[in-house]
């Protein structure tokens, strides 16, 4: 972590040297999960908190050792709550409580100090913490149902890629597909606006009728891949809707970014296995991608459409994802197959985030160590593996990352027994705030 001074938010691609990045260290919000809530909270299993924290701490350490300044959301949120005008603070509390159906908590939460309030907005609040508050009808109902929570936690917040997306010098505010994550864009955008971390970035694509979401208002950051200032890929997926992609392009992207020429919509299956575009495709180098080959190379399996400034959407029925990437970036643009060439390993390692790499710099990426066949496939493209382990002293880990960043191409692998069970890799867990332009 660092308390570096203000900087300009700027992301114009996926692979430029990572300079500033936002993460969220998982805490009590994952401790509070039980097996009864897994479907509602979008998890496949409950996580072991101590091990999850260790693995996430290792990810954070790698980011910092690579040269990036790492910012922690909970700290930013505390600072923002302390510094924001009273009306902005109250608006955040009111919006968060309204989304949760907990407007009876607004007055009480508004009186809490900023550190306690930040924790409550992330980890939730139990009724047992509120003995001095008036008894409301909702509280009586919860008592009959055996419900202990007055305000639910947001355990998916560690997947920082999704709630807000930096495009250029703006923060695009997401529209989460599920109620379990609906609070997250409020917290992230508030923290970035009021913490003093950087000059307050302009927020774009603020939801109309912010709390009146519908199944057709969906946009999550895992679906947004910035090829360059001229082209953007967006997954039309389980978590991002076609209507929202078109509105985002016409209302926010084209008006704000004069360099932008095309927005490609990747028509994905609406399935948890491929919930976001970055579960099947991420960028490694200027003309090299990591992807799930059965989808990325098959036009029939993953159709595309394109939006251009002032024009209607156009289907591209005969083009695969790789066809479009080669047309835009050059005929020598290549794909490293997640899981290698064997279909069994491809399917297994796509599930364990083998395609979800995050670039620290061109040709230098992080990946979960369990994706051994993906790492072997990367080796065939000149990526040297630097395996970082928890049992090594911190100084040795830092030396390994430094050596990796000096290599021509490198994949830094790290253990992920718990993080990978949460269904998100290194890209999902990071929100780049500033990258060098390539």
- Calculate the average pLDDT of the chain: 92
In this prediction, residues 8-16 reach a mean pLDDT of 96
Quote the pLDDT of residue 422.
76
Residue 210 has pLDDT above 50, yes or no: no
Quote the pLDDT of residue 251.
93
Quote the pLDDT of residue 419.
86
DSSP assignments along 73-117, one per residue: HHHHHHHHHHHS-HHHHHHHHHHHHHHTT-GGGHHHHHTS-HHHH
The answer to whether residues 226 and 234 touch, using CB atoms and an 8 Å cutoff, is: no
CATH 3.75.10.10 fits 18-76+155-435, yes or no: yes
DSSP assignments along 111-133, one per residue: TS-HHHHHHHHHH-EEGGGGTTS
**pLDDT classification of 178: cutoffs 50, 70, 90:** confident
Q: Long-range contact list for 144-152, CB < 8 A, 24+ apart?
A: 149/32, 149/124, 149/125, 150/102, 150/105, 150/124, 150/125, 150/126, 151/96, 151/97, 151/100, 151/102, 151/105, 151/120, 151/121, 151/124, 151/125, 152/100, 152/124, 152/180
Tally Cβ neighbours within 10 Å of residue 390. Answer: 14
The answer to whether residues 298 and 306 touch, using CB atoms and an 8 Å cutoff, is: no
**Helix axes 184-194 and 73-83, enclosed angle (nearest 10):** 60
- Copy the structure tokens of residue 198: 């950087």
228 contacts: CB under 8 Å, gap ≥ 6: 12, 13, 328
Pairing verdict, β 288-291 and 281-285? antiparallel
Nearest-angstrom CA–CA distance, 218 and 201: 22
Q: What is the pLDDT of residues 369-393, one digit of tens each?
A: 999 999 999 999 999 999 999 999 9
In this prediction, residues 320-325 reach a mean pLDDT of 97
Residue 216 has pLDDT above 80, yes or no: no
Residue 251, phi-psi category: left (phi > 0), alpha (psi -120 to 50), beta (remainder): alpha
pTM over 0.85: yes
Residue of 3 and 19 predicted with greater confidence = 19
> Which residue carries 């491929």 as its tokens?
274
Quote the pLDDT of residue 41.
64
In this prediction, residues 121-142 reach a mean pLDDT of 86
Residue 5 has pLDDT above 70, yes or no: no
Q: What is the pLDDT of residues 222-249, one digit of tens each?
A: 999 999 999 999 999 999 999 999 999 9
Nearest-angstrom CA–CA distance, 213 and 384: 45
Does residue 378 sit in helix, strand or coil?
helix
Quote the pLDDT of residue 212.
47
12 contacts: CB under 8 Å, gap ≥ 6: 168, 226, 228, 229, 435, 437, 438
């Amino acid at each position: 972590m660092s308390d570096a001074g203000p900087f300009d938010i700027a992301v114009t691609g996926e692979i430029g040297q990572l300079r500033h990045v936002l993460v969220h260290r998982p805490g009590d919000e994952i401790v509070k999960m039980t097996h009864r809530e897994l479907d509602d909270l979008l998890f496949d299993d409950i996580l072991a908190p101590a091990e999850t924290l260790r693995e996430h701490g290792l990810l954070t350490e790698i980011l910092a050792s690579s040269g990036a300044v790492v910012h922690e959301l909970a700290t930013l949120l505390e600072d923002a709550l302390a510094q924001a005008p009273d009306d902005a603070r109250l608006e955040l509390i009111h919006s968060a409580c309204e989304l949760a159906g907990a407007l009876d908590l607004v007055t009480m939460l508004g009186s809490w100090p900023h550190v306690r309030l930040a924790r409550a907005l992330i980890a939730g609040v139990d009724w047992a913490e509120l003995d001095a508050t008036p008894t409301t009808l909702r509280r009586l109902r919860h008592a009959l149902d055996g419900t202990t929570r007055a305000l639910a936690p947001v355990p998916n917040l560690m997947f920082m890629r999704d709630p807000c997306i930096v495009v250029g010098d703006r923060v695009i505010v997401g529209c989460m597909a599920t109620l379990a994550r609906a609070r997250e864009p409020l917290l992230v955008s508030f923290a970035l606006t009021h913490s003093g971390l950087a000059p307050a970035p302009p927020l774009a694509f603020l939801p109309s009728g912010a709390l009146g979401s519908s199944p057709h208002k969906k946009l999550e950051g895992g679906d947004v891949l910035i090829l360059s200032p001229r082209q953007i890929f967006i997954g039309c997926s389980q978590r991002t809707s076609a209507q929202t992609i078109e509105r985002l392009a016409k209302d926010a992207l084209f008006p704000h970014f004069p360099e932008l020429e095309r927005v490609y919509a990747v028509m994905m299956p609406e399935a948890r296995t491929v919930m976001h575009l970055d579960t099947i495709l991420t960028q490694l180098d200027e003309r090299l991608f990591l992807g799930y080959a059965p989808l990325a190379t098959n036009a029939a399996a993953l159709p595309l459409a394109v939006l251009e400034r002032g024009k209607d959407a156009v289907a591209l029925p005969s083009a695969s994802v790789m066809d479009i990437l080669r047309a835009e970036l050059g005929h020598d643009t290549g794909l490293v197959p997640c899981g290698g060439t064997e279909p069994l390993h491809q399917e297994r390692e796509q599930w364990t985030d083998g395609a979800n790499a995050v670039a620290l710099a061109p040709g230098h990426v992080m990946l979960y160590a369990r994706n051994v066949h993906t790492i072997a496939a990367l080796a065939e493209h000149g990526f040297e593996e630097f395996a970082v382990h928890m049992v090594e002293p911190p100084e040795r880990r830092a030396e390994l990352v430094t050596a990796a960043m000096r290599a021509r191409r490198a994949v830094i692998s790290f253990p992920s027994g718990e993080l990978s069970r949460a269904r998100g890799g290194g890209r999902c867990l990071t929100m780049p705030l500033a990258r060098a332009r390539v």
